[in-house]
Amino acid sequence: MRTSGETTPSPVASDPVDDGATGRRVIGGTSDGFVGPGPRDGVTALAALRSWDRRRWWAAVVAAVLTAVIVGVPTDVIPNPVFGRPVAVTWWSAPVLAFTSVLAGLLAATYVRTGSEVEADRSARMGGVGGVLAFLAVGCPVCNKLVLLALGTTGAMEFFAPVQPVLAVAGVVVLAVALRFRLRSSVACPVRTR
């Protein structure tokens, strides 16, 4: 119970406030601010994956297989008669290809329209960057024409080859961040259709 001398602290305009009616959080206390559950409301990427229908899962599988073929065949991580490489495939190339394929497949499936969401360009760019980094990481260091022009064969083996594991980790991390961003935003910011 308040006495006549106490005042309630006024909320800061950027503090999220529960609007009471829908259980959504409103920034600034107005309906024209951000509306949607906040990160503390139990919105997780896993919850978004659980809500996927069969169509999205099939899209994820197809995109993952296509990514594996597009990245793995020209880099000869997937053995084939068309492409070869003078430098042996590293032990970490196959796991990086697998992680990249799965993450890229899941990320691509987030773009399958369900009729109610707006697509974010930021995560698409991040996914593209992650895919390029993974491609450079698992590729043959002396087969990359740009690296050969810049560094020569010796430079490619001496300077670029040791950096490839870092590119691999960076590529997988960027893909994972892009996927998390897409999954959380698909649940956290539902858009009403009119």
> Would you list the DSSP string of 117-147?
----HHHHHHHHHHHHHHHHHHS-TTT-HHH
Per-residue CA distances from 181 to 70, 85, 161, 190 (Å): 24, 36, 31, 14
pLDDT at 60: 95
Sole residue written with tokens 């994956």:
49
pLDDT at 186: 72
- The tokens describing 119, both together, are 């697509």
Look at the alpha carbons of 141, 136, 160, 170 in this order and tell me if their dihedral is positive or negative: negative
pLDDT at 162: 92
First vs last Cα of the chain: how many Å apart? 44
Record the pTM.
0.68
- pLDDT tens, N- to C-terminus, the chain (194 residues): 445 555 544 444 444 444 444 444 433 333 334 344 444 444 577 888 888 889 999 999 999 999 999 999 998 999 999 988 888 999 999 999 999 999 999 999 988 876 655 555 566 667 778 888 888 888 888 887 888 888 888 888 998 889 999 999 999 999 999 888 888 877 665 555 55
Sheet hosting strand 25-27, strand order edge to edge:
16-18, 25-27, 35-36
Kindly give, in sequence order, each residue whose CB lies less than 8 Å from that of residue 13, ignoring residues fewer than 6 positions away: 27, 28, 29
- Residue 74 identity: P
pLDDT at 84: 86
Tell me how far apart the alpha carbons of residues 73 and 42 are, in angstroms, rounded to a whole number.
40
pLDDT at 35: 41
CB 107 within 8 A of CB 182: yes
Per-residue CA distances from 70 to 63, 73, 78, 135 (Å): 10, 6, 10, 9
Tell me how far apart the alpha carbons of residues 172 and 168 are, in angstroms, rounded to a whole number.
6
